[in-house]
Amino acid sequence: MGELANCSHCGTVYVKTIRDICQDCFKKEEEAFQTVSQFLREKKNREATILEIVEETGVEEELIIKFVKERRLQPTDFPNLAYPCERCGNGITAGKLCENCQKELKNDLAVLEEEERMKQEREERERENIYFSFNQD
Protein backbone atom coordinates (compact mmCIF):
# COMPACT_ATOMS: atom_id res chain seq x y z
CA MET A 1 0.00 0.00 0.00
CA GLY A 2 1.42 3.34 -1.01
CA GLU A 3 1.44 6.57 0.89
CA LEU A 4 -1.85 8.44 1.06
CA ALA A 5 -2.23 12.07 0.14
CA ASN A 6 -4.93 14.62 -0.51
CA CYS A 7 -5.50 15.53 -4.12
CA SER A 8 -4.38 19.13 -4.52
CA HIS A 9 -7.29 19.75 -6.86
CA CYS A 10 -10.37 18.11 -5.35
CA GLY A 11 -9.11 17.13 -1.89
CA THR A 12 -9.94 13.42 -2.25
CA VAL A 13 -7.61 11.03 -0.44
CA TYR A 14 -5.68 8.96 -2.95
CA VAL A 15 -2.62 6.76 -3.11
CA LYS A 16 0.26 9.06 -3.80
CA THR A 17 1.96 8.90 -7.19
CA ILE A 18 4.43 11.21 -8.87
CA ARG A 19 1.44 13.47 -9.47
CA ASP A 20 -0.06 15.77 -6.85
CA ILE A 21 -3.58 15.07 -8.05
CA CYS A 22 -5.78 11.97 -7.93
CA GLN A 23 -6.44 9.67 -10.87
CA ASP A 24 -9.88 11.19 -11.51
CA CYS A 25 -8.54 14.72 -11.66
CA PHE A 26 -5.64 13.56 -13.78
CA LYS A 27 -8.08 12.03 -16.27
CA LYS A 28 -10.15 15.19 -16.28
CA GLU A 29 -7.04 17.24 -16.80
CA GLU A 30 -5.98 15.11 -19.74
CA GLU A 31 -9.43 15.46 -21.27
CA ALA A 32 -9.29 19.20 -20.72
CA PHE A 33 -5.90 19.33 -22.35
CA GLN A 34 -7.20 17.44 -25.37
CA THR A 35 -10.15 19.82 -25.61
CA VAL A 36 -7.90 22.87 -25.43
CA SER A 37 -5.30 21.58 -27.86
CA GLN A 38 -7.99 20.55 -30.32
CA PHE A 39 -9.49 24.01 -30.06
CA LEU A 40 -6.12 25.65 -30.61
CA ARG A 41 -5.28 23.38 -33.53
CA GLU A 42 -7.81 25.23 -35.65
CA LYS A 43 -6.05 27.98 -37.44
CA LYS A 44 -8.57 30.67 -36.56
CA ASN A 45 -8.13 29.91 -32.87
CA ARG A 46 -4.38 30.05 -32.74
CA GLU A 47 -4.39 33.59 -31.45
CA ALA A 48 -7.07 33.01 -28.84
CA THR A 49 -6.47 34.41 -25.39
CA ILE A 50 -6.89 32.27 -22.28
CA LEU A 51 -10.24 33.92 -21.55
CA GLU A 52 -11.47 33.12 -25.04
CA ILE A 53 -10.39 29.52 -24.62
CA VAL A 54 -12.26 29.35 -21.29
CA GLU A 55 -15.38 30.71 -22.97
CA GLU A 56 -15.16 28.45 -25.99
CA THR A 57 -14.13 25.18 -24.36
CA GLY A 58 -15.46 25.49 -20.82
CA VAL A 59 -12.07 24.42 -19.46
CA GLU A 60 -11.08 26.16 -16.21
CA GLU A 61 -8.73 29.12 -16.56
CA GLU A 62 -6.55 27.70 -13.80
CA LEU A 63 -5.97 24.52 -15.82
CA ILE A 64 -5.10 26.36 -19.00
CA ILE A 65 -2.56 28.44 -17.08
CA LYS A 66 -1.17 25.22 -15.68
CA PHE A 67 -0.73 23.84 -19.19
CA VAL A 68 1.12 26.99 -20.23
CA LYS A 69 3.33 26.84 -17.14
CA GLU A 70 4.09 23.19 -17.82
CA ARG A 71 4.94 24.15 -21.39
CA ARG A 72 2.35 21.78 -22.76
CA LEU A 73 0.93 24.77 -24.57
CA GLN A 74 3.76 26.66 -26.16
CA PRO A 75 3.52 30.45 -26.19
CA THR A 76 5.69 30.37 -29.31
CA ASP A 77 2.89 28.54 -31.13
CA PHE A 78 0.05 30.45 -29.55
CA PRO A 79 1.05 34.07 -29.04
CA ASN A 80 -1.81 35.16 -26.78
CA LEU A 81 -1.62 32.63 -23.99
CA ALA A 82 -0.58 35.18 -21.40
CA TYR A 83 -1.77 35.09 -17.80
CA PRO A 84 -1.30 37.77 -15.14
CA CYS A 85 1.95 38.21 -13.22
CA GLU A 86 1.26 37.41 -9.55
CA ARG A 87 2.78 40.70 -8.44
CA CYS A 88 1.70 43.35 -10.93
CA GLY A 89 -0.81 41.68 -13.24
CA ASN A 90 1.16 42.12 -16.46
CA GLY A 91 0.68 39.38 -19.04
CA ILE A 92 3.29 36.64 -18.81
CA THR A 93 3.74 33.25 -20.44
CA ALA A 94 6.17 31.59 -18.05
CA GLY A 95 6.71 31.29 -14.32
CA LYS A 96 4.81 33.36 -11.76
CA LEU A 97 6.29 36.82 -12.25
CA CYS A 98 6.99 39.10 -15.19
CA GLU A 99 10.57 40.04 -16.02
CA ASN A 100 10.28 43.42 -14.34
CA CYS A 101 9.06 41.96 -11.09
CA GLN A 102 11.74 39.28 -11.22
CA LYS A 103 14.37 41.97 -11.62
CA GLU A 104 12.92 44.06 -8.82
CA LEU A 105 12.72 41.11 -6.50
CA LYS A 106 16.27 40.16 -7.33
CA ASN A 107 17.39 43.67 -6.47
CA ASP A 108 15.51 43.48 -3.19
CA LEU A 109 17.21 40.20 -2.52
CA ALA A 110 20.62 41.64 -3.35
CA VAL A 111 20.03 44.50 -0.91
CA LEU A 112 18.97 42.04 1.78
CA GLU A 113 22.03 39.89 1.18
CA GLU A 114 24.29 42.92 1.35
CA GLU A 115 22.71 43.98 4.64
CA GLU A 116 23.11 40.48 5.99
CA ARG A 117 26.76 40.39 4.96
CA MET A 118 27.48 43.74 6.62
CA LYS A 119 25.76 42.61 9.79
CA GLN A 120 27.89 39.48 9.89
CA GLU A 121 31.05 41.48 9.35
CA ARG A 122 30.09 43.81 12.16
CA GLU A 123 29.42 40.89 14.45
CA GLU A 124 32.75 39.34 13.56
CA ARG A 125 34.57 42.58 14.29
CA GLU A 126 32.77 42.83 17.61
CA ARG A 127 33.79 39.28 18.48
CA GLU A 128 37.40 40.09 17.61
CA ASN A 129 37.29 43.19 19.77
CA ILE A 130 36.04 41.21 22.70
CA TYR A 131 38.76 38.66 22.08
CA PHE A 132 41.50 41.27 21.95
CA SER A 133 40.35 43.16 24.99
CA PHE A 134 40.10 39.87 26.82
CA ASN A 135 43.71 39.07 25.89
CA GLN A 136 45.03 42.39 27.02
CA ASP A 137 43.86 41.87 30.55
Residue 10 binds Zn ion, judged by CB under 5 A: yes
Q: Tell me, rounded to whole angstroms, the distance of Cα 136 from its chain centroid.
A: 56
Nearest residue (CB) to Zn ion, 18 versus 44: 18
Helix, strand or coil, per DSSP, at residue 7: coil
Of 36, 53, 68, 101, the one binding Zn ion by CB under 5 A: 101
Show contacts with Zn ion in window 59-88 (CB under 5 A). 85, 87-88
Nearest residue (CB) to Zn ion, 90 versus 107: 90
Alpha-carbon distance 21 to 17, whole Å? 8
Distances (CA, A) of 59 to 3, 62, 68, 137: 30, 9, 13, 77
Question: CB of residue 81 vs Zn ion: minimum separation in angstroms?
Answer: 17
Of 7, 53, 68, 81, the one binding Zn ion by CB under 5 A: 7
Show contacts with Zn ion in window 18-37 (CB under 5 A). 22, 25
Alpha-carbon distance 68 to 61, whole Å? 11
Pick the stretch among 30-38, 74-82, 97-105, 118-126 that binds Zn ion (CB under 5 A). 97-105
Alpha-carbon distance 7 to 9, whole Å? 5
